[in-house]
Structure 1
Amino acid sequence: MPKRILQGVVSSDANAQTVTVVVERRFTHPVLKKTIRKSKKYRAHDENNTFKKGDEVRIQECAPKSKTKRWEVIAS
């Protein structure tokens, strides 16, 4: 089964080897037919601390790296 890949923006790079990525998804409300934006934060592993706040990145599922990290940054 392929690993999920998401695209988002780095919202925090304060921790060592970890970035917080905000991923936004858009969908149409089933009743109102209005486009709704929802966002979710993911903690991703950044081995060399290369990504900074505001960078556009892609993250991929991986085996758990810590209590909260289940994603890793694969590219910008």
Structure 2
Amino acid sequence: MQTATEKRSRRRKYVGNVIKTKMNKTITVEIMRLVKHPKYGKYIKKSTVYKAHDEEKSANVGDKVEIAECRPISKTKFTRFIRIIEKAKD
């Protein structure tokens, strides 16, 4: 039988940059990835935007952060803030 921490560690984790911090206890994180075009073979940049729950409001715009999936917190928020990997350069 699995414990709660083992189940939690299997959830997806993402690394991206914070693009907005205007909402209360919420940050908007943009995840960039490279996708190879099926016909031409050229790599294309694609991005996905996630809203993540940040209880302490510790992340700022430009920070590189790690977020993880969790239960739905609101209509559009189903990830939570884990840690800051790299602070933004002022």
- Normalising by structure 1, we get a TM-score of 0.95
5+ residue gaps, structure 2: 1-6, 85-90
* Aligned-partner residue type, residue 49 of structure 1: K
In 2: Cα distance, 1:52 partner to 1:38 partner: 23
Partner of 1:38: 46
Identity %: 39
Q: Greater helix percent: which structure?
A: 2
**1:1-76 correspondence to structure 2 within 5 Å:** 2-76=10-84
Root mean square deviation of aligned Cα: 0.9
Bigger Rg, structure 1 or 2: 2
* Aligned-partner residue type, residue 69 of structure 1: K
Equivalenced residues, count: 76
3-state SS of 2:58 partner:
coil
- Normalising by structure 2, we get a TM-score of 0.81
